[in-house]
Structure 1
Amino acid sequence: MNKKQSPPPKKRGATVAAVLCFVAAIAIVGTYTLGNSREARQNEKLAKTEETQSKEETTKSRGVGDGDAGDGTGGNTGELAGAEEAGSLVITNEDDTGISGENVENTDQTNPGERSTESNSDISSADTTAGAQQTAGQGVNVSFGEDSKLLWPVNGTVLMSFSMDKTTYFSTLDQYKYNPAVIISAAENDQVIAGTTGIVKSIDNIAETGTTVNIDIGNGYELFYGQLKDVQLKTGDYVEANSVIGYVSAPTKYYSTEGPNVYFEMRKDGQPINPVDYM
């Protein structure tokens, strides 16, 4: 019986080499495929991480806290806070996916500087009006008329009467001249009162009549009180009838013979008239 013939040694070697090459090729392909798979997963994780960071940065820049990206009210809260700091109101509508709708910006059309100027202008006007009311007697009308009456400024006798139609004798001057006022005797330091309501127009120091207070009593009428001292009023003050204007001073050199007195003059539209006609 014939024995089975074994392959020649050279043929077996070639077969083994082919098998080894095939196994090596499979191993190389598997290793390459596994490496690519791992690299792909790492790239995917990296991309997701970058996407998450980008979303968080976007959310923070819009003033939305964690977990509020998809909440419409949360988004509005952050944007409203930022808008208030910027001086404008920004209304943002967001759906449940967190996608922002169209921004509607509502800003005040008036420049803040203009508002400040207008406010200051309004305040200045109010102050001016208030000052005018105080000058006019806090709402009290200063309106003297032909039927109005005057109080005597001081208790005393008339030393020299009003006289503009003829001259009268002045003892100290030792001469005759016209007298546009009523000269009333008084004791030094006596109170001098206002004959009616009015507004102080001026306070002057005149050589002939000393400290003289001019009070506007309305409708072109004015009163002049001379030979005074210790006047506490100032220009623009409102005075009521019977209120103290000042006190009788020592007479000026023009009235040294007559002695202490009150110079009381009344004018209508700048022309002297007799105050006794209204007393």
Structure 2
Amino acid sequence: MTVKRKKKGGFSGGRTVTVAFSLCLLAVVTMIGMYTVGRTDQQQKELEQQVAEAEEEARAREQAQAEAEKAAKEAEKSEETEELADAEKTQEAASGSASRDKAGEAAADAAGETAGTEGTGMADGAELESEFAEIDPEGTGETVILDGTEKASSADAVSEQMDLSFSPETDQLLWPVAGNVIMDYSMDKTVYFATLDQYKYNPAVIIQGTLDENVMSAAPGQVTKIETLEETGMTVTMDIGDGYELVYGQLKELPVKEGDYLKAGETVGYVSEPTRYYTKEGCNVYFEVRKDGESVDPMSLLQ
């Protein structure tokens, strides 16, 4: 019985050692796992922090770039606005000078007409004697009928010049082109100019046109001025009588010259590409009506 007890006691001691060793091994594995997990979590946090910092730097760079681009655009826009303002002042000064020149020419013409009237009788007598000598060089006294085309043409031109008249009560204007009005006449309040991105007064109507489209004379008149302006491009001014003038802008390939007479519906020019003042509005005709040098609403006079 004693021997059996000794064997039993030895087995129990070995089992205890094995259990203890297993527990130690488990503890070591657990510690290694915890260290590894803790290390991985720390690395993950560091990686996330680095990504966040990189994203913040990228956002800061993008914001700085956007602010720089915005500042550049504002500077460019300010420069363009100043250039356009200078161009408008130049055009206004040129228009004022042209009006003064026209007034001087009118005064000179009036003086010339007065002086010419005084010598009409003597000139007519001499002209009649000369014509009679051409018709009857031999002095026979016979009546001879000649082709008076040249004299008739001259008389017609004078008659046409004298007959220039326009009355809003009895006369109406033709549309220069058959497009829609894309910008109304407005001198009592400002209107928005898309290309310029600003509000300003508009002394004309801007009529939509097609490139190379025929632009017609809105009324009988005489071409008094042809000029190229920065805002309206090639521009034609016509006198239609009684202090009324018509101004056509954004033209090209003019078949007329200063001094020519046009009937209503005849070609003044053709629609050109828009100037840089009207790029967003597209091809158009600038049509202005003036009375004694002041712009009036064309819509009240158009058919």
User: Where on the TM-score scale, by shorter chain, does this alignment land: which range?
Assistant: 0.5 to 0.7
Give the residue type in structure 1 aligned to 2:272.
S
CA contact (8 A) 1:251 1:259 kept: yes
2:181 aligned partner: 158
* Post-superposition offset of 1:137: 2.7
> Aligned partners of 1:173 and 1:203: how far apart in 2?
25
Match of 2:229 among 206, 210, 218: 206
Match of 1:181 among 204, 207, 211: 204
Larger radius of gyration: 1
2:279 aligned partner: 256
1:59-208 aligned within 5 A: 134=157, 137=160, 141-147=163-169, 148-208=171-231
> Aligned partners of 1:136 and 1:167: how far apart in 2?
43
CA contact (8 A) 1:135 1:236 kept: no
- CA deviations on 1:67-109 (whole Å, 9 max, x unpaired) are xxxxxxxxxxxxxxxxxxxxxxxxxxxxxxxxxxxxxxxxxxx
SS of structure 1 residue aligned to 2:178 = coil
1:242 aligned partner: 265
Match of 1:268 among 285, 291, 303: 291
Task: Please give the root-mean-square deviation of Cα atoms over the aligned residues, in Å.
Answer: 2.6
Uncovered stretches (5+) of structure 2, i.e. residues with no partner: 1-125, 132-149
Relative to structure 1, the CA distance from residue 135 to residue 206 in structure 2 (aligned partners, 3 Å threshold; closer, same or farther) is farther
Structure with greater proportional strand content: 1
* Post-superposition offset of 1:233: 0.6
Query: Across the two proteins, how many residue pairs are aligned to each other?
Result: 158
Relative to structure 1, the CA distance from residue 142 to residue 209 in structure 2 (aligned partners, 3 Å threshold; closer, same or farther) is same
Match of 2:242 among 219, 231, 240: 219
* Post-superposition offset of 1:203: 0.7
Uncovered stretches (5+) of structure 1, i.e. residues with no partner: 1-117
| % identity of equivalent residues | 50
**TM-score, with length taken from structure 2:** 0.48
Relative to structure 1, the CA distance from residue 270 to residue 129 in structure 2 (aligned partners, 3 Å threshold; closer, same or farther) is farther
1:277 aligned partner: 300
SS of structure 1 residue aligned to 2:277 = helix
SS of structure 2 residue aligned to 1:255 = coil
* Post-superposition offset of 1:134: 2.3
SS of structure 2 residue aligned to 1:156 = coil
* Post-superposition offset of 1:132: 8.3
CA contact (8 A) 1:230 1:246 kept: yes
Relative to structure 1, the CA distance from residue 166 to residue 207 in structure 2 (aligned partners, 3 Å threshold; closer, same or farther) is same
Give the residue type in structure 1 aligned to 2:184.
S
Give the residue type in structure 1 aligned to 2:249.
G
Structure with greater proportional helix content: 2
2:81 aligned partner: none
